[in-house]
């Protein structure tokens, strides 16, 4: 069966359309359907990209977590615009999401941090993400030090938390034969409604 994508079939709200596609990716057993590429840029336009994990989404946008002193965080502080990309190969689907990024509340970061595995919590303390380190051994030593310090409870590090990307444009891409793919783009309008457009493949 060939999947198709038509203007008449999509939800008027792209967040709800994403919910449909994300649910289908999970139900189809797509490996690591929550994996997304986060693309950022410096103030002088130098691009940068890396893989992060989608942790939640709702009408406000898409949430991921990281170190607030990492390279990506520095770039987001200097240029608060970013793009997310999902690629679900078994379904021949992509979703591209452009928008503005802000930190989530401390309470949201706390709530999610407390659900993380114990080792991941310690890793957030031990790793000065994106910084040059002298050796793997020193990293593991820092981990062991925090393991001793936080034997019973690991609090959230002040330099670690979440971001939310509020979308201004979302494109749904459905692979088709002969490279005549379906591309439907939503663009946020000044009145907060969404304009739906078909793009050439």
Q: Spot the catalytic one: 81, 142, 179, 187.
A: 179
Q: What is the mean pLDDT of residues 49-56?
A: 98
Is residue 179 annotated as a catalytic residue, yes or no? yes
- Sort 25 into a burial class: Cβ within 10 Å, 0-12 / 13-18 / 19+: buried
Q: Check residue 151 and give its pLDDT.
A: 82
92-105, pLDDT tens digit by residue? 999 999 999 999 99
23-44, pLDDT tens digit by residue? 999 999 999 999 999 999 999 9
138-162, pLDDT tens digit by residue? 999 999 999 999 988 999 999 999 9
Q: What is the mean pLDDT of residues 63-89?
A: 97
Cβ(199)–Cβ(27) below 8 Å: no
Q: What phi-psi label fits residue 89: left (phi over 0), alpha (psi between -120 and 50 degrees) or beta?
A: alpha
Q: Check residue 1 and give its pLDDT.
A: 62
By three-state DSSP, how is residue 41 classified? strand
Q: Check residue 130 and give its pLDDT.
A: 87
In order of start, what are the domains of the chain with their CATH numbers?
A: 14-113+158-198 (2.30.110.10), 115-155 (no CATH)
Is pTM, for the whole model, over 0.85? Answer: yes
- What DSSP state is assigned to residue 194? E
d(CA 140, CA 144): 6
> How many helices (H) and strands (E) are present in the chain, helices listed first?
5, 9
């Amino acid at each position: 069966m060939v999947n198709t994508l038509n203007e008449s079939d999509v939800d008027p709200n792209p967040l709800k359309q994403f919910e449909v596609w994300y649910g289908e990716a999970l139900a189809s057993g797509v490996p690591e359907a929550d994996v997304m590429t986060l693309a950022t840029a410096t103030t002088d336009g130098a691009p940068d990209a890396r893989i992060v994990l989608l942790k939640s989404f709702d009408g406000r946008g898409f949430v991921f977590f990281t170190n607030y002193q990492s390279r990506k965080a520095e770039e987001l502080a200097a240029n608060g615009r970013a793009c997310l990309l999902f690629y679900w190969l078994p379904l021949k689907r992509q979703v591209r999401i452009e928008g503005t990024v802000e930190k989530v509340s401390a309470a949201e970061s706390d709530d999610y941090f407390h659900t993380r595995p114990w080792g991941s919590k310690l890793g957030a303390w031990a790793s000065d993400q994106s910084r040059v380190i002298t050796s793997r051994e020193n990293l593991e030593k820092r981990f062991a030090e925090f393991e001793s310090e936080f034997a019973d409870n690991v609090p959230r590090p002040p330099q670690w938390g979440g971001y939310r990307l509020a979308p201004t444009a979302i494109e749904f891409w459905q692979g088709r034969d002969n490279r005549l793919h379906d591309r439907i783009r939503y663009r946020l309008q000044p009145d907060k409604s969404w304009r739906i457009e078909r793009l050439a493949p």
